[in-house]
Amino acid sequence: MIQGSDELARGAMKQGVCVAKHIVAASRVDGSIVNIVSNADNSGTTTVYRRIKQERVPCDAPTCVREYNSAMQGVDRHNQLRGRLALADGHSFKIWHKKMALAFIDIARCNAYICHQLASIPELNGEEDLLGGDEEGSARSGRGKHRSFVASLVREMFDGSWSESLDNDDCMLYTGSCTSSGIAPSSAEGETETKATDQIVPNCVVRESWLELKGRSRAMRECVVCRFEGRRPTQKTDYCR
């Protein structure tokens, strides 16, 4: 591998191959030193292009570096969207799996936004429109649309209205148990919409903890939030049953 102390020109590269394990290790000098270990690429070289002002200049690079760059473009766009309203970036825990759970929530929320944009805007063209998010293509308005989507998603998850999204307005359909087995979800739109109105959607009920837990010790509390935050049994809080 190329060391940081080596004074090499931009574009210099080294490769090492383990024939027995089918592993190739490549090192290339770009803006910084890029080191890659791959067992899915060959040890050949290919041509990549660097943009210098208004011109694209060809230069040699290992094949695994080119494959990595082409695949990581989508990951970088996903990271930009996920980082806007990331829960995992703003919270820290001593228990690692709690932070990982928040990271999975961020990934699911970002995927939901991407699917919503692709379904509601058929003429979406590339990552610029996805990051911009509207006809003007400005980053500020794109963040506003993303924020509005997350706020509406949170409201629907709290009040249970996500299960009533049966009108197929956004080219998506919630296929619950209300659709018959012999009818496709898309063709059963009218029937499922009628049946959904008859169902009672459960809502969260806010109760004061001192009334709900009256006469009970702290050890008998069932509220995970109160137990985690160390509230006393006599402290008045909102208790959601």
Reported as a single tens digit per residue, the pLDDT across 120-138 is 776 665 555 565 544 444 4
Contacts of 78 (CB under 8 A, 6+ apart): 110, 114
Name residue, tokens 């394990």: 21
Q: Which amino acid is located at 197 in the chain?
A: T
pLDDT tens-digit profile of 170-210? 444 444 444 444 444 444 444 545 554 455 555 656 666 66
From the list 157, 75, 72, 145, the residue with the least C-alpha distance to 113 is 145
Question: Residue 104 pLDDT more than 70?
Answer: yes
- For all residues of the chain together, what is the average pLDDT? 70
pTM for the model: 0.42
From the list 80, 172, 88, the residue with the least C-alpha distance to 130 is 80
Length of the chain: 241
Question: Residue 25 pLDDT more than 70?
Answer: yes
pLDDT tens-digit profile of 47-96? 888 788 888 888 888 888 777 777 666 667 778 888 888 888 888 888 88
